[in-house]
Amino acid sequence: MTPSQPIRVRRVRSLVAGLVIVTLAFAACASAATPSQTAPPAVAATPAPTPAPTATPLSPAAASDPHTIHLILHPVNDTVGSLTGCSSAGTCQGDFMTGYDPLFDADTGKKVGTFAYECFLVDVASTLYHCPGVTITLTGRGQIVFTELIEHLPGKPPAVSPITGGTGEFLGVTGIVTAKVLTGAGDFVIAIDE
């Protein structure tokens, strides 16, 4: 026997042992990947039940129309003030109006909430007021907040303002509020994007 023969035998034995280990590893993986005959059959997961809708679904034609709320304001708790130093017999730029008034459903006439506002006169000639944070509170539903720029006389064009915030039912909504000054009242149409 030559000196190289024992080395070859050791190499062959190592190679055979390695192949046996690899074969056993593949066999173990293959048996883990296929279900055994004694394992219970797999059960498909059932999806969670879908909650029932809380409102009547809209028809395809109505689905693209915004949801509207029509309100009438009756001013009963308003304050009008002027800046110190206003020398005009009438109004001065910077004069203010504040109020917290009841709101009524335009169709039923029932009280449905309140209207809180503060407005500042920015143009005397056109009676243009800037109202930076108007809040409509609808009882049991939440609040709608918007910023308004309105000519505060009956017969003037309506002010169209974006909704800037909300709570409760109106949290995260978008849309617009269209406001008109009426004689002795205010008219508000809130169009909420669906």
Evaluate if pTM is beyond 0.75.
no
DSSP state at residue 170: G
Where do the DSSP E strands lie in the chain? 67-73, 78-81, 96-105, 111-123, 128-138, 142-151, 159-166, 175-182, 185-192
Each residue's pLDDT expressed in tens, for the chain with a length of 194 residues: 445 544 443 443 443 344 434 343 434 444 444 444 444 444 444 444 444 333 333 233 333 345 999 999 999 999 989 877 787 777 899 999 999 999 999 999 999 999 999 999 999 999 999 999 899 999 999 999 999 999 988 889 999 999 999 999 999 999 999 999 999 999 999 999 96
Please name the amino acid found at residue 181: V
Judged by DSSP in three states, 33 sits in helix
Q: Which of 84, 91, 88, 95 is nearest to 125 (CA)?
A: 91
Domain ranges of the chain: 1-33, 66-192
Per-residue pLDDT at 105 = 97
Write the single-letter amino acid at 124. V
Rounded distance, CA 74 to CA 95, Å? 21
Q: Which CATH number fits domain 66-192: 3.40.50.12140, 2.40.480.10, 3.30.230.10, 3.40.50.10190?
A: 2.40.480.10
The tokens for 87 are 């020398």
- Is the Cβ–Cβ distance between 70 and 51 less than 8 Å? no
Predicted local distance difference test score (pLDDT) of residue 97: 93
- pLDDT value of position 24: 38
pLDDT at 48: 43
- How many angstroms separate the CA atoms of 171 and 193, rounded? 12
